[in-house]
């Protein structure tokens, strides 16, 4: 009885090891995972820019003319870029407000502080 219990626990231990190895392989080798990281970074950047713009507006009472104006106000030395393309973000100003969008069009946009993607619960879009 004791021997079969031991065998069973060794089998489940092996399953855990195999599962951990497979998980490591999937996370380490998959190109999709790198793209997912780019997407998350890009969306985080757009949230940061959106916050910069809102702060700029609350201080100056108007929207910045371009992203450089908002980023200069935020004292950022280098402009934020999409990690996939290395290009600066697009900024559109209209009567209904502003839109910050990914330059390669892969990662969505933020319109008036609202992202067009479903937020995964870890970060909030509202300041």
Residues in contact with Zn ion by CB under 5 A are 42, 82, 102, 107
Distance CA 91, CA 89 (A): 7
CB contact set of 79 (below 8 Å; sequence gap of 6+): 67, 68, 71, 88, 89
Q: Which is nearer to Zn ion, 41 or 57 (CB)?
A: 41
Q: Which is nearer to Zn ion, 26 or 106 (CB)?
A: 106
CB of 32 to Zn ion, least distance (A): 15
Q: Which is nearer to Zn ion, 82 or 110 (CB)?
A: 82
The residue whose two tokens read 């839109």 is: 99
CB of 106 to Zn ion, least distance (A): 5
The residue whose two tokens read 């969306």 is: 43
């Amino acid at each position: 009885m004791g021997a079969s219990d031991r065998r069973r626990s060794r089998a489940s231990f092996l399953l855990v090891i195999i599962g951990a190895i497979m998980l490591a392989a999937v996370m380490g080798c998959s190109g999709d995972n790198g793209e997912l990281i780019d997407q998350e970074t890009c969306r985080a950047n757009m949230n940061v820019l959106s916050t910069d713009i809102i702060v700029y507006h609350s201080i100056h009472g108007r929207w910045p003319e371009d992203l450089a104006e908002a980023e200069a106000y935020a004292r950022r030395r280098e402009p934020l870029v999409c990690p996939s393309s290395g290009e600066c973000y697009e900024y559109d100003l209209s009567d209904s407000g502003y839109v910050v969008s990914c330059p390669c069009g892969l990662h969505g946009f933020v319109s008036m502080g609202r992202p067009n993607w479903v937020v995964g619960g870890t970060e909030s879009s509202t300041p």
